[in-house]
């Protein structure tokens, strides 16, 4: 039997609804970490269902670092004005702006990157890896891995969240989609630095 305290603890950690927390705790036989993973999977399913909805509302957030030398403006869109005015949504926008100030991504998603840039980086990394004297089929896998790692590091949605490195930004946004009940998308950002 799952206690109300366990359900509350999981809710406090994840922000998910009481019923979802209880269900995931029952499914995981009371294991808190497994319950969190179950909630993340269900959040992904919810996000997938909502991904094609029209997003005409949103919030423009900002972050200025304490030294006054780094600043970020970010546009995050959602479906309704109700969510756009929600404190949780505004906090997400602020956290994303702070993350961008800290890690300086170049793109929102990897699919925004021009194919010529990818090709050029792949050639550069291929030349580097050729010096390792490994069989061609292994070299190709090494290059693919390095290319993916490089672009994951410069794309916001695939970066590890600065406030919780165990979670990538895409998972953070998916978690908020599940919690707030509508689609959320980072549309664009700009980072200024002196």
Domain residues of the chain, as ranges? 4-50, 57-108+155-193, 114-153
SS3 162: coil
Cβ atoms of 56 and 79 within 8 Å: the answer is: yes
Q: How far is CA 89 from CA 13, 79, 86, 184, in A?
A: 17, 12, 5, 9
Query: Which pLDDT tens digit goes with each residue over 49-67?
Result: 545 556 789 999 999 999 9
Class of domain 57-108+155-193: alpha beta
pLDDT at 170: 95
Give the distance from CA 24 to its chain's centroid: 22
Q: What are the residues facing 59 on neighbouring strands?
A: 76
More confident residue, 157 or 34: 157
Report the C-alpha gap between 135 and 133 in whole angstroms.
7
pLDDT at 135: 80
Highest mean pLDDT among 18-22, 41-45, 107-111: 107-111
Pairing of strands 70-78, 184-193: antiparallel
pLDDT at 98: 97
Query: Which pLDDT tens digit goes with each residue over 120-166?
Result: 999 898 888 888 777 878 888 888 899 999 999 999 999 999 999 99
pLDDT at 54: 66
Q: Global pTM? A: 0.71
Is the confidence at residue 16, as pLDDT, over 60? yes
Q: What architecture is the 4-50 domain classified under in CATH?
A: Orthogonal Bundle (1.10)
Q: Any idea which of 16-20, 109-113, 174-178 has the lowest mean pLDDT?
A: 16-20
Is the confidence at residue 100, as pLDDT, over 70? yes
Query: Which pLDDT tens digit goes with each residue over 103-119?
Result: 999 999 988 888 899 89
Report the C-alpha gap between 157 and 147 in whole angstroms.
16
Cβ atoms of 182 and 79 within 8 Å: the answer is: yes
Mean pLDDT across 162-189? 92
Within 8 A by CB and 6+ apart from 89, the residues are 59, 76, 78, 83, 176, 180, 184
Question: Crossing angle of helices 18-27/32-50, nearest 10°?
Answer: 120
Nearest to residue 110, comparing CAs of 143, 59, 62, 147? 147
The per-residue pLDDT of the chain, averaged, comes to: 87
More confident residue, 152 or 17: 152
pLDDT at 187: 95
Instruction: Provide the 10 A C-beta neighbour count for residue 132.
Output: 9
């Amino acid at each position: 039997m799952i206690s109300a305290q366990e359900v509350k603890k999981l809710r406090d950690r994840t922000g998910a609804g009481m019923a979802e927390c209880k269900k995931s705790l029952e499914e995981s036989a009371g294991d808190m970490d497994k319950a969190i993973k179950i909630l993340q999977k269900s959040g992904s399913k919810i996000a997938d269902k909502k991904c094609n909805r029209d997003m005409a509302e949103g919030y423009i957030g900002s972050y200025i670092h304490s030294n006054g030398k780094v600043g970020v403006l970010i546009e995050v869109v959602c479906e309704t004005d109700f969510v756009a005015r929600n404190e949780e949504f505004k906090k997400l926008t602020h956290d994303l702006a702070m993350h961008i100030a800290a890690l300086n991504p170049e793109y929102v998603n990897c699919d925004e990157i021009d194919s010529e840039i990818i090709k050029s980086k792949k050639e550069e990394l291929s030349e580097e890896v050729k010096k390792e004297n490994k069989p061609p089929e292994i070299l190709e896998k090494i290059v693919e891995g390095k290319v993916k790692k490089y672009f994951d590091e410069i794309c916001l949605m695939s970066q590890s969240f600065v406030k919780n490195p165990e979670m990538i930004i895409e998972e953070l946004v998916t978690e908020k989609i599940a919690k707030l009940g509508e689609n959320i998308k980072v549309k664009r950002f700009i980072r200024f630095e002196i």
